[in-house]
Every structure is written in C-alpha cells, then in structure tokens.
Structure 1
Amino acid sequence: MDMLSRVFRPSLIPVVPPGISMAKKELIASVSAQNVRAHVETIVREIPHRAAGSVNGRRMAEYSRDAMHAAGLEAQVHELPALVSFPEHADLRIEAPRQITIQANTLGHSVETLADGLSGELVYVGSGSAADFEGKDVRGKIVLTELSYAPGRHEKQRIAAMKGAIGAVMMNWGHPENAAVPFGSVKPVWGNPTPETFKSEMAVIPCIGISRVAGLQLKELCAQGPVKVWLRTHVTNGWRPVQITTAQLPAPQGAEPDDFIIVGGHQDSWPGEAATDNAAGNAIMIELARVFKQHQHKLRRGLEFGFWTAHETGTMAGSTWFADRHWDVLRDHACAYLQIDQPSCTGTTQWHTTSSVELKSFHQREEKALMPDREISWKRVAKSGDASFIGLGVPMFQGEGAFTQAQLKASALATRGWWHHSLECTIDKVDFEYMQTHLEVYAAYLWELCTAPILPFNYVPMAQQVIERLDEIKSPAEGFNLEGLKALASQLLEAAERFDQSTSSVAAQFAAGAGNEQHALRLNRAIKRISRLVVPLMSSSVGKYAHDPYSFTPQSTLIPSLYNAERVGRIQPDEERWMHETQLTRDRNQVADTLRQTIELMEDATASVA
C-alpha cells in the first residue's frame, strides 16, 4: 500500500451558518479535517526533515504531486537551481565572567568561522532593530538578540553587520524555561541572488541560535557587566537542485477561464517532523484541491496551487523562481494569492489575518460568517513568508488561528508557538479540531474569489491608507513636494469611491439575476491592472522587477519607498544627504506617477460601465 492510498477518509459534516448559497454550503460541507490529519501523519512519519536540495525534499515534492494527481488535478514537479544552506550544530562557550558551554545551532547561510572560532564581547541589543542599537557601540563585538520577528533574523544580521558587529547570537522565544534550540536562516537576499545582490545582500557574519533559557541567562550576565563569548559555526552553503510542485484546477466552463487564484505554501522544512511548519499547510492545500475538483464546473476562475521550496534555507527561492519564470501569465491572469503556512497551532483560539487592505472587507465577511464567536484581528500584509508576488502586483492574504495577547506576552511574542523552527514542532502541536474551521474558512475564501462575478476588492481603504501615510510625514526632506502627493492622494480617494460604487452596483445586478457580463469583464480587468500598480506601491521598496531583502526595515511602513522621507532631512547637509535627496526625489516621482495611473484606470473603468 503506497502513502497516498491511506489518506482519503469520509468527510465530517460541519455546521454551516444560514445565509450562504446552497452551492457554497455543499462545498464547505465537503472539507474534512480527518483527511488533513491523515496526510500530516503520513508526511511527518515518512518524510521528516524535508530540506530543500535533499533526498527528502525531492520526496516531498513528489508526494505533493501524487496527492494532487489523486485529487484529479494536473500537477508537475519543477527542478531549479537554488542557493541553499545546510547548517549543523554550533559551538558556544562563555569565557568570562565564568566558563559555561551552551548548546547552539548554526543558522542557515551563516558565515562559517575559522577552525579556531571567534571570540568577542557580548552586547545585548533587544530585538535587533536599528533603533535597538542606538547608544550602543557594537564594533568588533558579538550581539545577543531576541528571536521576535521585529525584524526577522535576516534583517537582524544585516543591521548588526552594518553596525560593525562580528557575530550574532539569537535566543529563541517562548516561555522563560523553553529549552528548545531553534533553527533558522539569515540570508537577506530574497530568492536566488543576482550578481549585484550577491555582493550587497548576502549574510556576512556568523550567526547562531540558542534556547530561550540559555539566552535569558546570557542577557542577565550582560546586565551585570562585561561578558566574553567564543563561538564556532558549522555550515555548508551552496547551489543545489531543488524542487517545487505546482498543480492546476482550471475553470474551463467559467466566464474568465484563464484567470486564477494562487494557493501556496512551502513544503520544505527544518529537521524533525515540522508538523505545523508546514506539513499541516500542505495537507490543507491537498484537501482543498480535492473538494474544489468536485465543484470545478461551477467556477468562474481557476486555482493554481504552489508547494514551494527553499523557503527555510533559500529565503523563498522556490516561489521567487515561479514568480520570475511565469511573469507573463501571472501578470495577466493572477487575481489574488492565499498563503497557507502554519495553520491551526495547538493553543490558538482567535483568528488573525494579514492582507492587502483591498481584500480586508471580503475576507472578514467570510470570517465573521463562519466564526461569529471568535475574536478576529487584522494587520496590513508585509513581505514575509513566500510573499514573492508582491512586486508583480498580486494582492495576498494569510489567515489562521492566533494566540491571545496574554499568551503572546508570556511567550516573548511567540506568534508561531514556542516550538517554532525546532525539533519540538511535532504533530501534537497541530489542533485538528480547530483545523476543521480553518478548512471551512479557506474554502469560503476561495469559493468567493473563484465564483464572484466581480472580484470582491474595495479600494477606498487603500486610498485612505495612502492619505494617512502621507499625513505621517511631518518634516519631509527639502524639495520633496509632499503637497503634490497629498493632492493626488485626495484625487485617488475620490476615484476609488466612484470605482467601488461601480463594482458594488454591478455585483448587485448579478445578485438580482440581471448582470451585464461585459461590464463584469471590464471591471475585473481593471481590478487586475490596478493591483499591478498599488500592491508594489504599498508594500515594496524596490518596485516591480526586484525583490526586497527579507524583513527589510522600510517595509515596516506603508509605501516603503518613502521610508526615508523625514530621515533624510535630519542628515547634515553634505554629500551623503544630497545623494539621499536625489534618490528620494526619484522615489517620490515614481509614487506620484503610480497614483496618477491608478486614478486614470479607475476613472476609465467607472466610465465604461456607466
């Protein structure tokens, strides 16, 4: 009996709230957490440590392909070269004020030390953000940081190196007694490097991970006086053949058969079971494919499934390759991207979604209908995870169970669970009861996106965010012409109000059985074109044709290309400031052009259905 012959089981019948169409009820009633559990059990038992570039990485890609075939979809394994990392253990020793040996892991893409290791004074720098280094001289020293993804490990490394540090020790999150030693990666380059980014964005210092309990001990020692540590890394970094799996569920009978929604999640993993990260996500994708295949004839748009690789040790190399190599089709036909990564973690009771703001009203409507008694929260999407379609201009979202604020406070903000990226990421960390709700919500998301006559996007919130962001800039650099941008933002809001009214009106006509198909096609075509403009504007600092470094600090703000709008004005008037002013002026002009183009698109589309 092969692995796949054991996994399909009869579906449970969920409770579907009233007010949902019969077809949608049938689809939601078909998803089964039992099937998801069977896949997760098989994956963690028979394909552990699914590292990109390894035998098990290939076996996982083949498993995903075979599972999608079994669900009735066309599926392929694509092999590509990727710069990946195979980190091993690390050696860490406190040398003063007393000698203690600490268990550690080398972080992926860390620089390898010489055989005799590296010694230096240890300096605690909090989360490792640029602000945390203020008032601290870390030149020639080793920094100790928290794990918290504010910023991510990759950006901690970049900032520490920029500040002159010679190494980094990153302590795990979780409760104070958490002894799990974390894995992780520190390569800032998003995807495979180019000749330019290989020189400017690769990791340049040795980095290691330690447990929370050990990290807190080191932090306490640093507070008491000088601490000297010695460390040695063990890692192999290099180009390897890696595999991604893609599968297609087209909508040949639909009105927009060439368009599709991307559903993606990484299939590579760190050592151990990696049950929540991301065997559970992959199993959900397989189950969604099985159910949507049964309803394929009802779809207006299709689905494109992507099981990415080199997420963990190649900084999203698999999904980046797919975005770069399938640019033309994605540009013309991708409508939205649902990322599924680490769903239904044990202990989560709330629901949290990150999204492009134009998707917020749509997905929250589905969430509130299916989870009326759960607390629901939202945050603007940032480029993390396999968000490799941001530059291309595909709006994205990701929703899953979330911990309470009290839980997060007690666990040093362990949003992914204290076991994240460690050998403790075992199958007991997956909540299969809550998994049923996850499946129903994902099915509802995709049903609406695949069947709605008008894509359910609202652009007034996007325009309002642009206005709010520009209002935050109080003292812009000289010559920035903030008022010109503000005038365009006001025009954008007016155009968005008219455009949203048009899409709502045409959608209502379809709901009443009197829709105009030509109007729907015009509006949906405009929505895709608007997305190609506003998504990179709102979320990328480098624009459409490049990829921001992972967790890049400017992406913590809306319209990242304007991150330095105030900071440049605080630099002394010399050649550094003048060069920054030149760059900022060009970035400002690009923002202005994007706003103008978006306004024109909205106005033309609105007029075309008047």
Structure 2
Amino acid sequence: MSNLPSQSNHNVPRSSGAARARDIAFMKEAVERLCLVGEKISGTEAEQQACDYIVSCLEAFGLEARVHKFDAYIGFPTETALTLLGDEHHSLPAVGVAFGAQTASEGMEAVLVHVGRGREADYNGVDARGKIVLVDGIPDYDPAVIALEHGAVGMVFASRNRQRPKMAISPVWGSPASAEELARMARIPIVSIDEADGERLKAKLAESSVRVHLVARHEEGWRTVRMPVCEVAGREPEFVLVGAHYCSWFDGSTDNVASNVLLLALARQLAEHGRPLRYGVRFAWWPGHTQGRYAGSAWYADQFWQDLHDNAILYINVDGNGSRGANIKVARNQTGEISGFSARLLDELAAPIEEPERQWLEQQWRRNEPGIDISRPTRSSDQSFFGIGLSSLQIASMLPLSHVDRNARISGSGGAWWWHSSEETADKVGYEELADDLTIHAQALWRIADAAVIPFDFGVTAHDLLLNLAQFRHEGRGGRIERLIDAVSEFSAEYSRFRARGETLATEEETAPFNRIHLELARQLNPILYQRGDRFAVDPALDSRQLPGLEATLQLKALDERSEPARMLAITLTRQSNRVLHAILTATRIVRRAWEGSLRH
C-alpha cells in the first residue's frame, strides 16, 4: 500500500487575468535582476547586492525591511582543476566542493581508482591508500568519511547527469558551536565532474592504470553575512514564518532566485491587501544555506528562540520552485499535523498527478521508517526549528518524468538537470509555473494566517508516533516501548475529544485559546519526532529518522547485552525514553486540562 497521500501531489491549472500578468511581469524582472548578480556567496559583495535589491523591493511595496548582520561560518571553492595524465595531458572540466580539504596551490598527483558509489562495501578488494578515488554520484559527506578511513588522499565525484554540481559536505548544521563540531569535517580534497567525463575515466581505468592531477582550493571561515527580513503584523501576536535561502551556487535561478522572488510577490500581495490578517506573516531571506549548511536559519532560531517558541504558528520553507515545466506540486517537509490541510488545498486547486510520478516519489523520497509518509521532514531545507517545536510545510514543484529537462536522479530545482550547475541561468525559470506556485503559497498563507481555527490535526502526529514505536517494538530491544505506545494511545483519545470541541467554536475570542493549545502541542511533540538532542541546539546535518532518540533500540538488539557498549547504550536509551514519555504525557495533560477547563462548556 502506498504511503503517499492520495491528494498531496497535483498539477496546478493556469489561470488568466490582469493580476496574474502583473505578477508574472514583476517576477520576471526580479528574477533577471537577481540572476545578473551572479553567484551569491554569503558574506560577499554579491550577497550585498542581492540583499539591497530585496530590501528596495520591500520598501517600494511600503513595507519596513530590516537587515540582520552577523558572523557565520562560510565555505566555498575558489580554484578547481582536474587533469588526466599520460602521453598527452587532458584537462577535464570540474567544479569545487566546500568544506573538504585544500591541496597545495600546485595541486596533487596520484593514481586514480574507482570505488562505485563510495560505500563501505565498494572498497572490498580495493587498495585506496595514497590514491584519489573516483565515486559515482554527487559529493556527499558519508563517502568522504569512508574514503578517509581507507587512506584515500583525494576524491573525484562523477555525477550521474550532465551537470557538475557544486556542493557543501559539512556535517555541521549551521555555524560550528565548538571545536569538536568543526573537527567532524571530512578533510579530503574533492572535485566534481559530469557523468560523461566520469565514464571516460572509468573506460581508461578498464584499460590500464590512470594518474590524475587535482587542484582543490577554497576559502573557509567566519564572514559577516546579511539577512533581510520583513514582518506584516496581524491582529494577534502569533505569526507564520516564511523563509527562502537567497545564497546560491552560480546564478541560482531555480535554486533559489525564483523562490526569493515568490516571497517578494507574497509580501506585495499582503502589503496591498489593506486589512491585517488575524495572524502576522514574517518573511526571511536566509544567508548561509548554500555555503554554510543552513547557517542563516540556525542563527535566527538561536537569536529569536523564545519569540518563535511563543508565537510562531508554522514554518513554510520555499525552495526550488519555478523551474520551467515544473507543474507537479508536491507537499514535502511537512509535519503530520498540517498534512491534511495541504492535501485539501492542493486537491482544491488541481488534479492528481499520474501514477508513474507517484511511484518515482515513493522510490526517491523513501524514508528510513517503514510506513511513514514520504512527505515528512528530512534533515534539509533550513529545517532549523524542530528543537523549538515549530510545525513545518513546503510545497515543492517538480518537472514530469517525461520532460526533456528532467533527470530522475535529481530532486533539486524540480528535478531539472541544471541544478547547482553553471547552466542554472534565468532562462530556466518558467513564469507560468512560478505564477502557479504563487497562487498555491498565497492560498496556503491566507488560510492559515487568517484562520478561525488553525488547521492542525495532531491525531496524524500521534499516528506517526505509533508507527515508529511499532517498528522499535518489532525490530529493537529496550526503551520501554509498550509504555510509550500506551501513552500515545491515551493522548490520541484525549486529543480526539478535544479537537471535536473545536468544531463548535465560532468567534475569535473562543478559538484563540484553542489555537494556542495546538501550538503548545507542537512544542511538545515535534522536538521528540525530529530532534535527538537539546531543544536549544540542532542535530547534525546528516540523515535521520523520526523519533531519532529511540533509534538506539535497533542498535541495542545487535549487541551482547552484557557488553560495555550495550550497557552504556542502554543508559542513553533510558534517558531518551524518559524524554519522549515526558513530552507525550505533557501533551496529554495540556489537552485534558483544556477539555476539563475553560473550553468545556
């Protein structure tokens, strides 16, 4: 049975009219202006130009913009080269990777060996010591760590596509908070080439030994970056946070200029609306996403933790929208409680996508937890707010699998082949598609920010919890899982009665406390579902799963329970179980008190 909601992926129909034409004209001009800035590296003059343009647009709308300036840990490549050595040296076009290691200015020379996708098993029978390894795929942290463990001195990643993607491989979410975090970097020189050149190298390797010369130079360190923000106040203090990173590799037209412009168009619509919505809307253009692994949104979470905790209803992440041909709209990075709302919204605006697209999504976005909806958040996309407990939503735009620009191995830029490459220029934006994205985001924003009852359903969240706990019970050991299942079941029953009460509320005075209770539930349940560690910190920028703190149940089962590692892991698991149980019991008390108190009339 598919775990993709039947109404969460759709083709949005085109509308017509003067308002749409005006929006398209504005967005086209803004995209072209921001693309002309070029590669928007955080902490550089290009970032200053992009920031100034965003602020000038907001001020032209009659809105007050503010620019936060702060230091962030930024990395980006500056000089990259790869040469095939032999009777005739042959230069291969290559791009750099941030947060690896630098070669000396003259570069390095070594034998090249192919190690498949760079997984541990791919090194069986391969001596990589002192060699440069050729890896199939996009530069990533885990293969870099494995390469270092096997003694490799350099890496060449060959994409399975015609682009040469620039990437950052830092495992640190945001700027490092300690020397220990910084020490986790995989310090190995890395370059990125396209699939065709990768195949040429593999063909050479099949014939004889191959030596290559590699240059990988970069800048890395603390830089002052700029974050433009703008808030449109509502009638009540709560607000929806809408964010999009505005740093980019190359021109970055579809990752993420088009989404930056979408935020500007949303802000203009709010400015022209004339009447405050019930709740405010806060727009943020994040720096340090591309060259700092979400450094901007992480800084914002740190600096405004209490305000976000007390008043933020939802984080809407806007990323990768507007690629030409990207008319498939997919809800992703959404917490369970908002998923019913997004399904209804998209079902109203468009028809379901075709089955081949659904199957691709199921395969490409599959999760580490059996049965969990693939639209649930991953460790990506500026999701810096789970320690605080914010709910989350993202509406992505994908090209159909049959589209000439689609590469089935890529999810960024709507699956377009040009993602993170020098080909990601202004002509790759589709303005009818971007106008559809604007319609969807505007409808989502208005319906949440002006809602009588915030459209959350934590019954879905409870279902996610139970599915995860069932897996831990079946495949793991320890963690008092049965007690946790009982606690979630009790919460689910209490919440069902409470939510039914909300259907009878009418006035804003009546619904205000009901909505506040839903924010309190998010603050309890989302941290345990999406965060392993401290609520005031962030987990590493590595793959994770729901209820990550209880993953130790799966690790414990593989150990001798009398061994020292098992005994220490059992202590960790007990503490994490206490953390999860406390959150669930607290959520249940919140609902029960509301049911028995002022809302029970």
TM-score band, normalised by the shorter chain? Answer: 0.7 to 0.9
Q: CA deviation at 1:405?
A: 4.6
* Matched residue type, 2:467: E
Partner SS for 2:168: coil
Instruction: Tell me whether 1:76 sits opposite 2:66 in the alignment.
Output: yes
Deviations 1:417-462 (A, max 9, x none): 1111111001121111111211110000000111001110111111
Instruction: Tell me whether 1:530 sits opposite 2:521 in the alignment.
Output: yes
- Pairing of 1:251-270 with structure 2 (within 5 A): 251=234, 254=235, 257-270=236-249
Give the alignment partner of residue 410 of structure 2, picking from 409, 414, 429.
Answer: 414
Partner SS for 1:568: helix
Instruction: Tell me whether 1:365 sits opposite 2:315 in the alignment.
Output: no
> Which of 599-608 and 429-438 deviates more?
599-608
Partner in structure 1 of residue 93 of structure 2 = 103
Separation of aligned partners in 1, 2:498 and 2:206: 57
| Equivalent pair of 1:119/1:228 in contact (CA under 8 Å) | yes
Deviations 1:7-63 (A, max 9, x none): xxxxxx9749xxxxxxxx99x979722221121122212x22111111111111121
Separation of aligned partners in 1, 2:409 and 2:51: 32
Give the alignment partner of residue 558 of structure 1, picking from 539, 546, 559.
Answer: 546
Partner in structure 2 of residue 540 of structure 1 = 531
* Matched residue type, 2:431: F
| Equivalent pair of 1:106/1:208 in contact (CA under 8 Å) | yes
Partner in structure 1 of residue 315 of structure 2 = 337
Q: Structure 1 regions of 5+ residues with no counterpart?
A: 1-12, 17-24, 510-514
Change in 2 beyond 3 A, CA 1:113/1:56: same
Separation of aligned partners in 2, 1:473 and 1:137: 38
| Equivalent pair of 1:82/1:240 in contact (CA under 8 Å) | yes
Q: CA deviation at 1:541?
A: 2.4
Partner SS for 1:84: strand
Change in 2 beyond 3 A, CA 1:210/1:250: same
Partner in structure 2 of residue 203 of structure 1 = 186
Partner in structure 2 of residue 44 of structure 1 = 35
* Matched residue type, 1:470: L
Change in 2 beyond 3 A, CA 1:362/1:213: same
Partner in structure 2 of residue 499 of structure 1 = 498
Instruction: Tell me whether 1:576 sits opposite 2:576 in the alignment.
Output: no
Separation of aligned partners in 2, 1:528 and 1:238: 37
| Equivalent pair of 1:118/1:232 in contact (CA under 8 Å) | no
| Equivalent pair of 2:81/2:215 in contact (CA under 8 Å) | yes
Q: Structure 2 regions of 5+ residues with no counterpart?
A: 1-12, 359-373
Separation of aligned partners in 2, 1:571 and 1:135: 28
- Pairing of 1:179-218 with structure 2 (within 5 A): 180-218=163-201
Separation of aligned partners in 2, 1:199 and 1:38: 40
Instruction: Tell me whether 1:171 sits opposite 2:158 in the alignment.
Output: yes
Instruction: Tell me whether 1:284 sits opposite 2:262 in the alignment.
Output: yes
Partner in structure 1 of residue 369 of structure 2 = none
Partner in structure 2 of residue 250 of structure 1 = 233
Aligned residues: 564
Partner in structure 2 of residue 20 of structure 1 = none
Q: CA deviation at 1:411?
A: 2.3
Separation of aligned partners in 2, 1:49 and 1:357: 36
Separation of aligned partners in 1, 2:472 and 2:125: 25
* CA root-mean-square deviation: 3.1
| Equivalent pair of 1:349/1:374 in contact (CA under 8 Å) | no
| Equivalent pair of 1:264/1:307 in contact (CA under 8 Å) | yes
> Which of 238-247 and 561-570 deviates more?
561-570
* Matched residue type, 2:459: V
| Equivalent pair of 2:39/2:46 in contact (CA under 8 Å) | yes
Separation of aligned partners in 2, 1:120 and 1:580: 41
Q: CA deviation at 1:299?
A: 0.4
| Equivalent pair of 1:124/1:144 in contact (CA under 8 Å) | yes
Partner in structure 1 of residue 438 of structure 2 = 439
Partner in structure 2 of residue 4 of structure 1 = none
Give the share of equivalent positions with the same residue, in percent: 26
Separation of aligned partners in 2, 1:262 and 1:471: 33
Q: CA deviation at 1:346?
A: 1.8
> Which of 68-77 and 301-310 deviates more?
68-77
* Matched residue type, 1:239: W
Change in 2 beyond 3 A, CA 1:88/1:567: same
Separation of aligned partners in 2, 1:308 and 1:473: 37
* Matched residue type, 1:394: L
Q: CA deviation at 1:199?
A: 4.0
Change in 2 beyond 3 A, CA 1:540/1:349: same
| Equivalent pair of 2:530/2:548 in contact (CA under 8 Å) | yes
Q: CA deviation at 1:298?
A: 4.3
Instruction: Tell me whether 1:521 sits opposite 2:504 in the alignment.
Output: no
Partner SS for 1:344: coil
TM (norm. structure 2) is 0.86
Change in 2 beyond 3 A, CA 1:546/1:39: same
Separation of aligned partners in 2, 1:565 and 1:133: 29
Change in 2 beyond 3 A, CA 1:328/1:296: farther
Partner SS for 1:365: helix
Change in 2 beyond 3 A, CA 1:142/1:587: farther
Change in 2 beyond 3 A, CA 1:575/1:281: same
Instruction: Tell me whether 1:346 sits opposite 2:324 in the alignment.
Output: yes
Partner SS for 2:581: helix
Change in 2 beyond 3 A, CA 1:169/1:591: farther
Separation of aligned partners in 2, 1:499 and 1:72: 42
Partner SS for 1:236: strand
Partner in structure 1 of residue 382 of structure 2 = 386
Q: CA deviation at 1:262?
A: 0.7
Change in 2 beyond 3 A, CA 1:200/1:300: same
- Pairing of 1:85-100 with structure 2 (within 5 A): 85-94=75-84
Separation of aligned partners in 1, 2:147 and 2:404: 26
Deviations 1:88-131 (A, max 9, x none): 232334559997542222201221123452535534242x5678
> Which of 31-40 and 462-471 deviates more?
31-40
Partner in structure 1 of residue 489 of structure 2 = 490
Q: CA deviation at 1:171?
A: 2.4
Partner in structure 1 of residue 399 of structure 2 = 403
Partner SS for 2:582: helix
* Matched residue type, 1:157: A
Partner in structure 2 of residue 467 of structure 1 = 466
> Which of 566-575 and 327-336 deviates more?
566-575
Partner SS for 1:602: helix
Change in 2 beyond 3 A, CA 1:92/1:579: farther
Partner in structure 2 of residue 430 of structure 1 = 429
| Equivalent pair of 2:112/2:132 in contact (CA under 8 Å) | yes
* Matched residue type, 2:177: T
Instruction: Tell me whether 1:567 sits opposite 2:549 in the alignment.
Output: no
TM (norm. structure 1) is 0.85
Separation of aligned partners in 2, 1:97 and 1:328: 64
Deviations 1:283-339 (A, max 9, x none): 111111011122252400011000111111111111111111111111111110111
| Equivalent pair of 2:400/2:406 in contact (CA under 8 Å) | no
Deviations 1:341-391 (A, max 9, x none): 121212323111111111111112111111236559661111212111122
Separation of aligned partners in 2, 1:607 and 1:224: 78
Give the alignment partner of residue 58 of structure 1, picking from 48, 55, 61.
Answer: 48
